[in-house]
Amino acid sequence: MKQVFYKKAIVLAAGFGSRLSPLSRQLPKPMMPLWNTPMIGHCLATLERIGVCEALINLHHNPDPILKYIRNEYKGDVRISFSFEPEILGTGGALVKAQWFLDDNPFWLINSDILAEFNPMGLVELISKPRSIAALWLHDTLGPRTVELDGETIKSFSSSAPGLPGTFTFCGLHLVSPKIISYLPQSGFAGIIEAYERAIQDGFNIRGSVLSDSFWADIGTPETYLEAHKLTLAAKTQGASGSIFVTSDNMRDPLKKQGVDASGFVALGNNVVIEQGAVLHDCVIWDNASVKSSSKLNKAVIGSNAVVSGNVRRLAMSAVEAVGEGAWADHKLHGVLKALKWDVNKTTICSFEPRASDRSFTRLVSGKKSVIMVSYKTDRAENLLYVEHSHFLKQLGVKVPEVILDFPDQCVTVFEDMGARSLLSMKNESSAKLNKIYKNVLEQVLVFHEVGRVRARESKLNLTAPFSTELYQWEHKLFTRHFLGRYLKLSSAEISGIEKELAGVSRELSGLPQVLVHRDLQSSNVMLKKGVPYFIDFQGMRFGAAVYDLASLLYDPYMELTEKSRTLLFDYYCANASLEAFDYKLFRLAAVQRLAQALGAYANLSSRRGTEWFASYIKPGVRMMLEALKHTDSLPRLERVLTKT
């Protein structure tokens, strides 16, 4: 086939970069540097390599840095136009607004947050086929893999079993016929997928192809931003595709010569100061940042002008930059700093990984002082109960972080900072040391269960609905739908048989005496301060069977305790409990129940953008459930399925 070059491209650069917040308050995602070149620069260079002569960039969120870069620093030969969106329009809306830029030929449509090195001819050939209205670049191993393909034709963009063989990830690059405009609403916000689906109904095809000998990465989250640096550096070392994106040096070895303990990769911006004695591993540090000698940075992005010390993971930035101003201001953060009477110019913020509970956690650091700020949504009623429950547990004598500030009208609470040590962080300690710590935890759990049971009823504490047959069945549905159905792709008949077995578990547990349970008693929710356990994430506490909490703690997939340790610790709890003791059968059935809930959640969350990392806990979860099942004889179908898995 004759080589064809399509000369026009639309670059999508208007988004908020929410998953990179608060870094995206300082710089819009297209301007975030990868090896000291902004992503928009890498994107335009990619387009130039495949023959593009003209590009239109759509703009909305914080456009000034992009405009300044194109006007003052961009040295390429692609002619640039801009499309300003006072209200963000989405991909489809952006195309409608940019109609004036297009002609009758197909055009490239590319996300500005991807790195792409590829041969375009695979997509050029697909768009040339009869009834093709778009050709999309797909990847068969990386990313969430939510696209289903039949030959070279896309059948679904939302697979019911993401990540399994036969599913693909859309890489953020389309070659599109301008005919697609007729399938878009002519004003307002619009997505592109809906337009594709309407075109399919009209007899057109959306093609998809895995491009060989290519390189792809995206920077949608701090984790993937760091990973993109690592992957491109590895490509350079191997002389492979992707090496073209390494446009500055890995500063690891020069820093080591200056007395910095550097490993992995270190990408530095301009005027960065790193003191001797600092420890750095896989870090990106933006312009004018300062890293103190006490710093231990592990897989971290440090924003411009930030001053960091101590342990930092994921990201840290100056509070001034995070608060922002005007339309991009963070009024919640500003209000918290004002209430704390902290100088915004002397405060650093460190943002934690996203969680599954519609809450975000941020550490605020000013000198030797630090607190944890929690922002939450009200969609889950239990998020509104955290402060009340905290005061209640403290009165019981259960160790919980101190509440420092509470702004319920803004859905923000500030807590005592418990540091970085959790029960989970002790995973590699000896069995003897772990067992001692777990016994301390169980002593607190006994107070939670037994004293809490009485006091909660006396005080008429606000709680979510107690465990019941219906709640256990809801957990089963989470498991059967997301794990057995979407993840394992079992047949309806197989799932129905397992549901009948699980119904017996819920009947057994529903008949047990109820105490006040934590509800999510896993290792990451037990912090250790000077060796003393403190509980967090207890807002979902309710009345339920004590064995549910014990199973959550002792069959935790994050820890994978040995059978010997589980037995010792379960016996320790039972020996010290004043209420009715439980036998091992109920303990293991509770483990099946809890792990069904956990595996359902892992499968569901791993299919969502931003929480894909939950997939890494599926195999440990299966192993833990098999440990429980091998001691029971009432769930043979489930045991057979998981053994095959």
Q: What is the pLDDT of residue 629?
A: 96
- Any idea which residue has 């999309």 for tokens? 136
Fold of 249-416: Phosphorylase Kinase; domain 1 (3.30.200)
Q: What is the pTM assigned to this prediction?
A: 0.85
Q: Is it true that 249-416 and 424-644 share their CATH fold?
A: no
CA 437 – CA 431 distance, rounded (Å): 10
Helix and strand numbers, DSSP H then E, in the chain: 20, 29
Low pLDDT (below 70) residues in the chain: 1-4, 326-328, 355-357, 580-581, 609-610
Cis peptide before 620 (omega within 30 of 0): no
Q: What is the pLDDT of residue 369?
A: 94
431-438: Cβ within 8 A, 24+ apart: 431/562, 431/564, 431/565, 434/561, 434/565, 435/565, 435/568, 435/569, 437/528, 437/531, 437/533, 438/553, 438/554, 438/565, 438/569
Q: What is the pLDDT of residue 1?
A: 37
Fold of 8-222: Spore Coat Polysaccharide Biosynthesis Protein SpsA; Chain A (3.90.550)
pLDDT digits (tens, 9 = 90+) for 100-115: 999 999 999 999 999 9
- CATH: 3.40.50.150, 3.90.1200.10, 3.90.1150.10, 3.50.50.60. Which one for 424-644? 3.90.1200.10
Alpha helical stretches, state H, 50-87: 64-72
The residues, ordered by sequence, that sit 6+ positions from 599 with a Cβ below 8 Å of its Cβ are 479, 483, 618, 621, 622, 625
Q: What is the pLDDT of residue 199?
A: 96
* Domains of the chain by residue range: 8-222, 249-416, 424-644
Q: What is the pLDDT of residue 250?
A: 92
